[in-house]
Structure 1
Amino acid sequence: MSTWKKRARSAMLKLRNAKRGETESILSAVGQGINPNTVRREVQALAFLDDLRKSDPAISRRLRVSSFGTIELLARWSSFDPRGAAEEARKVASKEHSLKSLKSALQSAMERHSVPTRLGFLQGIEPSVRSQICRILGGNLAPLKRSEKALGRAPIDFFYQLTQPGTADKCVAVLVVGPYRYVGQYSKRRQEELWRAMGLAWAFDHVVVVLPERRSLIEYQRWLAEYAFASPARTAEEENTARMRRPSVHVIGIN
C-alpha cells in the first residue's frame, strides 16, 4: 500500500471515534508535518476507491497503481457526478487519460454541472475586497502581476500596489480563508491562517485576511489584537520601536 493510502486509512480509522472539534488535531497528528488539508484530500480519495471497490472491483484493482493526483481528481468528480466519475475511472484504467487530460475533462464537467470553482469565487468577491482595503488603508489599489517563482509560491489570492499621496508605493498581499462549507471550519483554521498572515507581513507592506463568513470576523480580529502585540514594550523608546515593527495585518469580511 502506498504511503498516502496508509496515511489516509489511519486518519479514517481515527476519525471514526473522533469527538467534536478533534478533526484538525487528528489530521495534523496523522500527517506528521503534512498540511491537514492534504490529509483530508487523501481521505476523500481513499473513500472514493473504497466505494469503487464495492461497485466495480475490476476497475478498482486496475487503479491501484494510479497516482494520488489521479485518484483525487476522480474523487472530486464523484462528489458532484458519481456516474461521470465512474466512467472516467474506466478511461483512466484503460490508459485513455493522462493526468493533464483528466484535469481538463474535470474542468469541463464542473462547467456543465455549474459547480462553483475557487477561481470563480475569487473573481466574484474581488471588487468588494478592493473597496474595503481602500477604505482601511486609503489611497488607490492596482493589481500587480506576481512571479510565483520569485515569491516561492506564497499562498496569495490577490496582490496589489497601493499608491498614496506623498509616500512610496507599497505592496498589499491578500489571503482568502476558505470558503468552507461548515462555519466551524473558520474557527479551527483561525490560528493557522493568522500566523501565516503574520509571517507574510515580513515580506509585504500590508497583509489582508479575507473571511467569506462574517460571523467569524470578531474572533479573528480579537486574536490578532491579542497575539500581534503579545510582547509590550516597557519603556517609551521601546514602545515607539515596537510600534514601527508591528506587522500591518488586517481582517475583513465579505460584504
Structure 2
Amino acid sequence: MKNWKTLASAAREVRRNTKYGERERSISRLAQDKDINTIRRTIAVLEFLDSLTASSPQLAQALDTVPFSLLQILARWAEMDPKSAMKTAHKVLAGEYSVRSLRSALEAARRANEGPVRNKRLVPSKLFLDAIGELLGGRVTSKPRLSPAILGRRPIDIELRLERAGASPRRVAVLTVGPFTDPRLYAKRRHETLLRALGVAWLFDDVVLALPEPIAAEPYRQWLADVQGIVKSSAARDGRPNVHVLSTRHCTAKARGAGK
C-alpha cells in the first residue's frame, strides 16, 4: 500500500482530536475509497513501528523496507506476544516468510497462546485467567465454571472468584463476544452486549467482556468511557457498575472500563 504512513498519521490525528460520535465519519472522509477497517490497520501498524522504534530502533528502521501486507501481520502478532513478534520480524527480514506463511504462523502462535476453542466459545487458558487477574488487580483463585441458570438461561459464560490482598473475594462474570466470521457483527451487537453487561453487573462484583480482537475491543472500551459520566451523575445508584473489556489477543494489556 503506497503512502500508508501518511494516511495512518493523518487518521491517528483525527482519532485523537475528534469526539467519538464524529470519529468514524471523519476517518471515512479521510479514507475516501478505502475501507475504514483498512485505515484502522494502518494506524495499528504505525503504532507498532513507533513502539518498536523506542525499544529496538535498528529493527524498526529495517522494517521500513518490508511490505505493508507483512507489517500488518507482525503488528497483530506484537499485540499478542511482543517478544515473539520481534523474533519473527528478524525472520521476515531474512526472507523466511511470505504473507501466506506468516499468517499461518500467527494463527499457530495464537492457538498455542490461548488454548482450545470449542464450538467457537472461549475455553479459558492460564494466560487468559492471568490477564483477568492483572486487569482487576488480583488473582483468580477458582476454576472457571458456568454460572447457574437464572430465569431459565445462563446470563453469562464463565464465573470466577478473584482475591485481592486485604479484601474480600470478588465474584467475576465473564461474557465472551465472538469470535465472529463477519467482523461487522462486533459493531452491530455492541450496544446490546454492553447493556447486558451493565445489567449483569448488578449480580456480580465485576464483569469482564472478552473479545478476540483488539480492533473490535476498542469501541467497547470507548462506549464504557462515554457512559461513565452518565453513571456518575445518576441518582439511581450509589456506586458504578464494574464492567471491563479484555482483548484475548493481547492478554498483557491493561484495559479500561466503567469501573476503573
For the superposition of Structure 1 and Structure 2, which TM-score range results when normalised by the shorter chain? 0.3 to 0.5
Structure of greater Rg: 1
